[in-house]
Amino acid sequence: MNALVFPGQGSQYPGMGKDLYDSRSDIKEIMDYANDILGFDILNIMFNGTEEELKRTKVTQPAVFIHSIAVAKALQNSSIEMVAGHSLGEFSALVANGVLSFEDGLKLVYERALAMHEACEQTPSAMTAIIGLKDQLIEDVCKEISTEDHLVVPANYNSPGQLVISGHLSAVTQAGEILKEKGAKRIVPLPVAGAFHSPLMQGAQDRLAKAVEKVKFNKPCIPIYQNVTAEAVKEVDEIKHNLLIQLTAPVKWTQTIQNMIADGCKVFTEAGPGKTLQGLIKKIDPSVEATSIS
């Protein structure tokens, strides 16, 4: 079985999507349409902007989404039997399996980006990748030091030996120091604006919920394995619920890939900028085939 997987924030790069735009008239048309939907020239930022300009959440998220859908359209692979997306990439996956239209997907992604940006401005917060420790140890440290005003939680289960923590800046910093003492190989602060996939995103979740209720969700043509449950989902109400909860809950990427493999997937194709997911999948299970098309 074959799967398409879609990357999230952090995979962007200057010039992203320019080759596709120049080489395919059908892709040029849909990317130009993205400018009309958003009301500003995001393509100019994607093609000619700096890394700093692309790092802004309200630019990054729609840019990665647009590029991912362009790649998926270029692939036009009818043999795909399941999809998944890492964080933001879940919206790309929902367009790929027919649940959302491109227009509605992009509108939701932009609303999500604005909501998350707003939530990030409310309190000093951060995300840090912990490399080289067991998940349970990281979970225990987070639970031990976390309080309502000093919150730190597991946010991204990326692969065995790589777990991202998220929360108040002070708590994330403290947890990193403790985990370094406990033998972490590396503590890597992430270049993001705030505490994604933590309870600090509750305001963003509430704002996105209002936007989701205005959008039509179709029955998927193939299952999506969602971040919150790591399991195949085909019911529209469950998809919508999981999409919202994702903002405040951890991304179970390791578990997602393991479940997709258990359900028969042998070939993963990453559609979108970068090769992050390809690398993570190979760490999760070196026996499967994982490629990246950007």
Could you list the active site residues?
A: 87, 197
State phi, psi for 81 to the nearest 5 degrees: -115, -5
Q: 115-143 burial, b if ≥16 CB within 10 A, otherwise e?
A: bbbebbeeeebbbbbbbebeeebbbebbe
Is-contact 223 234, C-beta < 8 A? Answer: yes
- Taking Cα atoms as reference points, which of 114, 161, 168, 159 lies closest to residue 251? 159
* Distance (Å, whole) CA 61 – CA 230: 22
Relative to beta strand 186-189, strand 125-131 is antiparallel
* Distance (Å, whole) CA 63 – CA 165: 25
Q: Crossing angle for the helix pair 202-212 and 236-245, nearest 10 degrees?
A: 150
Helix (H) or strand (E) holding 137: helix 135-145
